[in-house]
Amino acid sequence: MCGAVKGGLSLDGVDVAKEAIIQGQVLRGEDAVGNAYVRLLDRTGEFTAEVPTSATGHFRFFAGPGEWTLRTLAPQSEPVDTVVTAAKGVVAEVEIAL
């Protein structure tokens, strides 16, 4: 079972009111996937950014408001696309299942 903290990454020091935040965790079953990459694609599918997941499978993007696609790439898995909407002052929490 995953040892990650429920609720995701700490937001200490982040002024959520001024940011559009997309964050979450990549899981395979109940296990965190710490060797995955999450890409942020804009509405047209254009690559914007990429981050590796932490040892607990977590990731975070500071994005502009609007609709985004998260493309998750991990060993022994097909790519997974997840559509998410970012809004200023809101933390969009996403759980990605492989």
List the CATH number of the domain containing 39. 2.60.40.10
Structure confidence by residue, pLDDT tens digits, 12-54: 777 777 889 999 999 999 999 999 999 999 999 999 999 999 9
The verdict on residue 9 lying in a domain is: no
List of residues 6+ apart from 51 with CB closer than 8 A: 37, 38, 59, 60, 61
Q: How many structural domains comprise the chain? A: 1
| Residue 70 in this model has a pLDDT that exceeds 90 | yes
Question: Rounded to two decimals, what is the model's pTM?
Answer: 0.86
Asked if residue 5 belongs to a domain, the reply is no
Could you tell me the maximum CA-CA distance found in the chain, to the nearest angstrom? 38
Assess whether pLDDT exceeds 90 at residue 56.
yes
Residue 10: inside a domain: no
- Give the range of the structural domain holding residue 46, as residue numbers without chain letter: 17-97
Average pLDDT of the chain, as a whole number: 90
- pLDDT bin (cut points 50, 70, 90) of residue 8 is low
6 within domain boundaries: no
